[in-house]
Structure 1
Amino acid sequence: MLGPAAVFFAVGAEVSPSKDAVKSAPVDEVAPWNVQIVAAAPAASSDLVIGQVAVNSDNAAGGPNNIIAASRYRAVDRTLPVGLAPERGLQVKTILASRAITAAFPEIHSIGGVRPDALRWHPNGLALDVMIPNPDTPEGIALGNEIVDYVTRNASRFGMQDCIWRGNYYTPNGVQRGGGYGHYDHVHVTTTGGGYPVGDETYFR
């Protein structure tokens, strides 16, 4: 049994995977898998390594000096912890955006969510206010720009409707500049919501 197995692994290492086997996601839109494959360190002994099982190479085809470097599986936690915005009353896409922004930008220390407002976005759990530290400084302006760019790149994942920052109104289809939209101390993010959570949701990076 070990002879054919050794041949299978030796030959199989040269075969390219099917193009349809895995579809990679954009850089910021990581698919919610929690397993990744990493290369194992070369074996230090004369044993044949198959997966995580070491087999004495004297009994394997090719003799004691044929060592095959295998791959091993390592669990990777892709879940997002609770973000800065209070999540009570937020809809699922808004929660995802809050958690993702919190994880991606440790410089942010406050994100507002549900609050009374004349418009429906905040009261209905559809909007976030990402507060920018020192918003009038070059560093603060650059940070706000980065957050707008991040949310826009992930528009489909977050269900982005719009962002407002420093008088500009951003949508997935473009930006309207200088329209008197305000928001000079925080980035306003509006999502399409996706419904209210039922309690068993898991949010992934």
Structure 2
Amino acid sequence: MLLGVGRHSLPKKRRNPSVYFVSALAPAAVFLAVKGDTNPVSASVAAEKEPVAAPAPPPVEEQATPCCVEIVAAPATSPQPALLTDPGSAATSPASLVSASRWRVVDRTLPAGVAPERGLQVRTILTSRSISAVFPEINNIGGVRSDALRWHPNGLALDVMIPNPTSQAGIALGNQIVAYVLANAKRFGIQDAIWRGTYYTPGGAQSGGYGHYDHVHVTTTGGGYPDGDEVYYR
């Protein structure tokens, strides 16, 4: 039996549109996947595949000194550092670190010595004070006095009295004082010294008939009378 087929005939099977979309994308996905394989591997992927090792430290001689090290004063409970000697002559190691509060203050001023300074000129005062500081055995130094020569009356001369001047210790002490003033002749302005019959000058010595067996006579070039504001240094 023939069935009539008109507008109401069996419908044709319809394709799902998404099939076309998937079909169209499939070749592109393959193309992108193949193209992606030709690019370098990303850093994150490389890190997962092969961990990066830490660089080896440089040799000891190439390592830099640490930056910004701060040096601070030692606390009061720290061991006492060694005291410094005379800063005018001592060699201080640059590696030595001493707290600023522990610097030893050295007073280089010369106090008045045993000689009466009234009427003495400035270089004579410097000489007498220096002798008193270096030779504490000396307890009597004469200065200005009446004399036929001008040296003592004008404040240019000293009489350094030697204890037990005829003993070996006394003679040695007198010799040391003569050597000391001559070694500092330029600073003290020494003109001459007389001890045990010998006349000494910075240029040499002359023996015979000069007396002075109980004291060392010292003459300076003076330098003028003080005005009261002088400071004498060692």
Question: Per the alignment, in what secondary structure is the counterpart of residue 163 of structure 2?
Answer: coil
Equivalent AA in structure 1 for residue 216 of structure 2: V
TM-score (norm 1): 0.67
Query: Where does structure 2 lack aligned partners over 5 or more consecutive residues?
Result: 1-65, 72-85
Aligned to 2:172: 142
Task: Tell me the amino acid that sits aligned with residue 166 of structure 1.
Answer: R
Q: Indicate whether 1:161 and 2:183 are aligned.
A: no
The CA distance in 2 between the partners of 1:4 and 1:201, in whole Å, is 50
Tell me by how many angstroms 1:40 deviates.
Answer: 3.9
Instruction: Read off the aligned partner of 1:82 and give its amino acid letter.
Output: A
AA matched with 2:139: H
Q: Is the contact between residue 128 and residue 190 of structure 1 (CA under 8 Å) also seen in structure 2?
A: yes
Greater share of strand: 1
CA-to-aligned-CA distance 1:72-119 (integer Å, 9 cap, x gap): 743210011101110000000000000000010011110000000000
**Residue 133 of structure 1 aligns to which amino acid in structure 2?**
P
Give the partner amino acid of 1:106. P
* CA distance, structure 2, for counterparts of residue 52 and residue 101 of structure 1: 33
- Give me the CA root mean square deviation: 2.6
Task: Tell me the number of residue pairs that the alignment of Structure 1 and Structure 2 aligns.
Answer: 152
1:186 aligns with 2:215: yes
For 1:134, the aligned partner's letter is: N
Distance in 2 between residues matched to 1:5 and 1:80, nearest whole Å: 44
**2:149 paired residue number:** 119
Identity of paired residues, percent? 68
More helix by share: 2
Post-superposition offset of 1:6: 3.3
Partner in structure 1 of residue 233 of structure 2: 204
Pair 1:97-2:127 in alignment = yes
